[in-house]
Amino acid sequence: MKDIKKALKNGEVVIGTFNLIPHPTVVEIIGYAGFDFLIIDCEAGALSPWGTEMENMIRAAYAADVTPLVRVTQKNTSGMIHKALNSGARGIVIPHVNTREEIATAINAAKYPPEGNRTADPICRAPKYGATTWSDFVRTANEEVMVIPLLEEKAAMDNMEDILSVNGLDMVLFGPFDLALRLGGVGDPKAEAQVSEYEEKLISLCNERGIFVMSFGWDADSVKRSISNGCRAIAYSADISRLNQALWRDVEDLKNKIPGCLLSKRGE
């Protein structure tokens, strides 16, 4: 399976997408398409962060050679973090992180002692149900697992330097859409300018500390712009958005090329 943390350390750029459709087939399609990672989204999507449904999504990611990250529904929820990591997730995205203490708590839940306080379960899926030597698994798990705070509120911007001072932080996810919404509205020139200023400051501070920055991209141009700004990981669109746009485009094409066909009008 792709090791995006290793790739980032080697200077590469990694591009993934959000997975909101809760089915392993969709995960496999994303992987076979060639994406480097996917964020299995338990906050915005219908998927539960508990039980075998999420485990099977992660299992499908391993089968399709795409790194599975999981966005939990809440910050400071150690149970969700344990479930996702025990199922084999290679990283956790924590939403609405605004303080140093919030991300420190999440890292503590995700790392085994002495780096944290993750609960030991040597017979779960992550260590291959006990087939992996426990000492080897703990060492590699602490090295490989990423805890990624989603910085999407003004409070996070105000506490940026404090958040970035937490030990064990490898990457942050910058949320320009939600941040703009909270600063005055998406598309508002003043809000968008402030978002750009925050992004520039965040990237500069992260570069000083050896922390990677992930941002969102909705098309190739926005992805290229984020990379040129210094982001090393891009969460490109989402499965629902790509399916939606592809189907709308196909329906319009059919309506234009096959007059008289019975295709419903959009929105009716």
Closest CA relative to residue 69, chosen from 45, 38, 46: 38
- Dig out the tokens for 17 from the structure: 């997408």
Please state, in angstroms and rounded to a whole number, the distance separating the CA atoms of residues 242 and 234: 16
Kindly give the pairing relationship between strand 146-151 and strand 171-174.
Answer: parallel
Q: Beta strands of 56-185 (E only): which ranges? A: 67-71, 91-94, 146-151, 171-174
Gap between the Cα atoms of 216 and 63, Å rounded? 25
What is the rounded distance in angstroms from the CA atom of residue 87 to the CA atom of residue 110? 13
Give tens-digit pLDDT for 64-119: 999 999 999 998 889 999 999 999 999 999 999 999 999 999 999 999 999 999 99
Q: How far, in whole angstroms, is CA 79 from its chain's centroid?
A: 18
> What pLDDT score does 268 carry?
53
**Which of left, alpha, beta for 185 (phi over 0: left; psi -120 to 50: alpha)?**
left
Q: pLDDT band at residue 265, thresholds of 50, 70 and 90?
A: low
Amino acid 127 reads P
Confidence of residue 260 (pLDDT cuts 50, 70, 90): confident
Statement: 4-239 belongs to CATH 3.40.250.10 = no
Predicted TM-score (pTM) of this structure:
0.95
Mean pLDDT, range 37-57, rounded to an integer: 94
| Of 202-206, 212-216, 240-244, 261-265, the least confident | 261-265
How do the domains of the chain map onto residue ranges? Answer: 4-239
Q: What is the pLDDT of residue 262?
A: 85
